[in-house]
Amino acid sequence: MEKTENKIIAGGNFLITPSTPDQCFTPEEFREEQKMIEQTCVEFLEKDVLPYLDDIDQQKEGLMVSLLDKAGELGLLGAAFPEKYGGLGENFVTATLINEALGAGHSFAVAVAAHNGIGSLPILYFGTEEQKQKYIPKLATGELKGAYALTEPNSGSDALSGKTKAILSEDGNHYLINGQKIWITNAGFADVFTVFAKIDGEHFTAFIVDRDTKGLSFGEEEHKMGIKGSSTRQVFFEDCKVPKENVLGEIGRGHIIAFNILNIGRLKLCAAALGGAKRALNITATYANTREQFKTPIGQFGAIKHKLAEMVIRTYATESSLYRTSKWIAEKEKELAASGKNEDETLLGAAEEYAIECAMLKVIGSECLDYIVDEGVQIHGGNGFSDEYNISRSYRDSRINRIFEGTNEINRLLTLDMYLKRAMKGRIDLLKPAMAVQKELMGIPSFDEDDAPFAAELKAIANFKKAILMCAGAAVQKLMMKIDKEQELLMYIADMLNYTFMAESMLLRTMKMNGEQKELATQATKVFIADAADRINHAGKNAVNAFADGDEQRMMLLGIKRFTKVAPFNTKDARRAIADKLLDTKQYFF
């Protein structure tokens, strides 16, 4: 049964706050109702989507629209929307699970995620009551399809530099929008667009624009490397006449909408990537069982087992991190609602609170999927390079995820930027823990051993956090306001954060687990922590060498060595046990 009383940790505070298993929600705690919704998604994909992937990729006329209509009839589009707007009122965890389950649907997953997320949530979160009543019920059922128009030819990561303009008409009743948007998902069939433009070329503002608006036109479908079935077009505005009532949110505050919606979009992308990763993993496991070389199934070879096990481990890490965060957001919504906040404030406040984790999850999920499809192709060998095998589609479709919703480079930089801004505002206390680590470095390390279950793993993660605080604290102290110019340094520290968050999420989930799965989960967690120690050591040394010198450098490098030291562990045998279980079940088994 899903727990609802877990004490939540404030956004970003996992770095400085010890966590216990009871504070970590896990997939093992899904309610039966949530499992039924997940099964509905799986059955829908297997019956209506996966058999027609070639037709979808060829953009067969009307097919994607009809699939979205069917998803709407099943309640999968409006599951997380409030009941008063025609939704099912499901919580954030359920919405995340739906995104994951549908994430195995290749181009369809992109279309449904764009509709459910960035295509609908701006209106739900920021719309007036009249706007919500007009659009949300129809978006919830799929009668209307949504899209989000932010990116322009010369403004990608720098979204606020867009040139699209809006000028109030002489009669004061409309805004005339002129400009161009590119890479707009669902543009070929969407009925309603959230469009960003600068009023008088200055005030960045969001608008609701209907498809039949005069002056709105579209380019041809883009020919893409992957997600070929996802409609992607340019959108043109030529004196596009939008009623002033369609201004979304406050004039000049469009960036609030853009950035808050992207927070949720990043987490949803992680969920979809996880669903795609599980499907690619299952396909690869089946192939490794049936493909023989030297009269032996290739899955029996150690080199292949290593790859298969690593796929399972990274999937387990991603899944554990995703649902830990999703539950925090769901609980934060409850907390804000109980404090008297209105519905919009609870949704937005919860998303903003965990913006750091959402940025991390975007990187974690997209890079997990990329690893799995890449090694999936490798295990398929020459067949993996053939369009006759679905793993090649998975490989092509995966690549966009490291660009969508802010590139992974931008999200790594954002992670540290948000930490530093919250520290300056007093929202998170990084100074005291960082000073405590510096003081610890000057003392004699403790060699006390604790033989309690998972004590060594808990200590390792606590030390990983010390390594991060040491590097970040010293870097800020030395570079001050210039630190934002040292992007390589920031990305090294972001990697340390990502590995630590994944390791801790895995460990807390494993500690909470019961039954026969626990032994394999323990093996997976120990492998990840052993490897994370090496990765954090590598990133930490690069970070230190990027800004420190002399005695400070020597002391900090010794600190990195101390904080990333873990007990020897036979990762080979652990991986073989995980791979054997995968080959036996022929599917992801956690």
pLDDT tens track for 431-482: 899 999 988 888 777 767 777 889 999 999 999 999 999 999 999 999 988 9
Taking the C-alpha atoms of residue 561 and residue 407, their distance in angstroms, rounded to an integer, is 31
Residues 105 and 139 in one domain: yes
User: What would the mean pLDDT of 226-254 be, rounded to a whole number?
Assistant: 96
Is pLDDT at 531 greater than 60 in this prediction? yes
Taking the C-alpha atoms of residue 492 and residue 486, their distance in angstroms, rounded to an integer, is 10
Q: Which two tokens stand for residue 119?
A: 């295509």
425 exposed, middle or buried (CB, 10 Å; 0-12, 13-18, 19+)?
A: exposed
Is pLDDT at 230 greater than 50 in this prediction? yes
Whether 3 is covered by a domain: the verdict is: no
Residues 177 and 122 in one domain: no
In the DSSP assignment, the letter for residue 195 is E
Whether 424 is covered by a domain: the verdict is: yes
CATH number of the domain that 310 lies in? 1.20.140.10
Q: How far apart are the first and last CA of the chain?
A: 17
Q: What is the mean pLDDT of the chain?
A: 94
Residues 577 and 432 in one domain: yes
Residues 56 and 164 in one domain: no
Is pLDDT at 5 greater than 50 in this prediction? no
User: What would the mean pLDDT of 553-577 be, rounded to a whole number?
Assistant: 96
Whether 6 is covered by a domain: the verdict is: no
Least confident of 4-18, 70-84, 86-100: 4-18
- DSSP states along 24-50: ---GGG--HHHHHHHHHHHHHIIIIIG
Contact 44, 76 (CB under 8 A): yes
Residues 427 and 512 in one domain: yes
Q: Could you tell me what percent of the chain has a pLDDT over 70? A: 98
Residues 354 and 435 in one domain: no
Write out the catalytic residue numbers: 405
Is pLDDT at 590 greater than 60 in this prediction? yes
**Ramachandran angles phi, psi of 61, nearest 5°:** -50, 120
User: What would the mean pLDDT of 157-184 be, rounded to a whole number?
Assistant: 91
Is pLDDT at 156 greater than 80 in this prediction? no
Residue ending a domain, among 201, 223, 248, is: 248
CATH number of the domain that 231 lies in? 2.40.110.10
User: In this structure, are strands 192-199 and 165-168 parallel, antiparallel, or unpaired?
Assistant: parallel
Q: Residue 76 has what pLDDT?
A: 93
Least confident of 1-10, 166-175, 392-401, 413-422: 1-10
How many alpha carbons fall within 13 Å on the CB side of residue 95?
29
Residues 225 and 113 in one domain: no
Considering only residues 343 and 346, tell me which one the structure prediction assigns the higher pLDDT. 346
Q: Residue 447 has what pLDDT?
A: 67
Residue ending a domain, among 85, 120, 145, is: 145
Whether 106 is covered by a domain: the verdict is: yes
Whether 401 is covered by a domain: the verdict is: yes
> Which pLDDT band, with edges at 50, 70 and 90, does 128 fall under?
very high
Domain count, the chain: 4
Residues 128 and 85 in one domain: yes
User: What would the mean pLDDT of 59-86 be, rounded to a whole number?
Assistant: 93
Pick from 474, 431, 401, 453: nearest CA to 185: 401
Residues 38 and 109 in one domain: yes
User: In this structure, are strands 247-248 and 203-210 parallel, antiparallel, or unpaired?
Assistant: antiparallel
Whether 334 is covered by a domain: the verdict is: no
Residues 276 and 237 in one domain: no
Taking the C-alpha atoms of residue 235 and residue 420, their distance in angstroms, rounded to an integer, is 37
Whether 4 is covered by a domain: the verdict is: no
Whether 489 is covered by a domain: the verdict is: yes
Q: Residue 1 has what pLDDT?
A: 31
Contact 530, 522 (CB under 8 A): no
Residue ending a domain, among 351, 379, 409, is: 409
> Which pLDDT band, with edges at 50, 70 and 90, does 7 fall under?
low
Q: Residue 524 has what pLDDT?
A: 98
Residues 363 and 474 in one domain: no
> Which pLDDT band, with edges at 50, 70 and 90, does 4 fall under?
very low
Range of the domain at 398: 254-320+342-409
Taking the C-alpha atoms of residue 295 and residue 400, their distance in angstroms, rounded to an integer, is 38
Is pLDDT at 3 greater than 70 in this prediction? no
Residues 196 and 237 in one domain: yes
Taking the C-alpha atoms of residue 15 and residue 12, their distance in angstroms, rounded to an integer, is 6
